Amino acid sequence: MSSSKSRFSWQMIFTIAMYGFMYIPILILAVYSFNASRYSSRWEGFSLQWYVSLLNDFRILSSLRDSLTVAISAVAVSAVLGTMMAVGLAKYRFRGKGLYRGISYLPLIIPDIAIAVATLVFLVTLSSILSFVQLSIWTIIASHIVFCLAYIAVVVSTRLAGLNPDLEEAALDLGATPTQAFLKVLLPELMPAILSGCLLAFVLSMDDLLISSFTAGSGANTLPMEIFSRVRTGVKPDINALSVVLILASGMLAFTSEYLRYRSDRQRSNG
């Protein structure tokens, strides 16, 4: 009995220590974002001036616009292609299917630096052949589609694995065309997983620094690139405030994604 209590207490201590290691720095960051001082090393009183200054910072707003353009564009294309890829891999058999599946999911395990270098080499080679291909915000979007596609496909594939295949076959037996069966039966069942995968891919795209910095042209500057250029000379309170805003936004998206997955699993268990 005493051994069990001792083991439980050590588990609790380890869990608290790990959560503290992860979240105490975030808490300190949030507190110092309200610091009236321009320096994070000392506290000079409560102030909201750094949150107000974010609204008047042209460079931050411009980089935020570029990041949103990249993330929304990449996720929109990846949602269509990732869903088609997941459905195709689940429903059809063809030669080399296992190899194709493995290649499709490689961006999930390959380090970002390797993807960034490979994408840069490919784009430079392509630009030497096609003069209109130049590093710009569009090349960032193209490179983000590579890993967003894989994440969305994985989430949709997980949902497909738990679906009843008889639903679509029943629709076909009742006279629906394959397109109608997909749009009216399969797609509504997949929509929670598609939205969840899109939210995950959106957060990852907004957070990316390495791939964006390697594939960006002179006129493109995403939010992580702007933040990195500023923190090299020290972390200022305005960056603390911006980090808090990003953490809250990411948390809301993660909560939404988990809620959609929970509701989807509950509907499936009730059905």
- Whether the per-residue pLDDT at 79 is higher than 90: the answer is yes
Mean pLDDT of the chain: 83
The C-alpha atoms of residue 249 and residue 88 are separated, in whole angstroms, by 33
pLDDT tens per residue across span 109-137: 888 898 899 988 998 888 888 777 788 89
Domain residue extents for the chain: 55-270
Maximum Cα–Cα distance for the chain, whole Å?
75
Token match 């000379």: residue?
Answer: 233
- The pLDDT of residue 77 is 95
Domain 55-270: CATH architecture, name and number where available: Orthogonal Bundle (1.10)
CB 78 within 8 A of CB 201: yes
- The pLDDT of residue 29 is 84
pLDDT tens per residue across span 228-248: 888 877 777 788 888 888 888
pTM score, whole prediction = 0.81
pLDDT tens per residue across span 163-205: 777 777 787 777 778 788 888 888 888 888 898 889 889 989 9
Amino acid at residue number 231: V
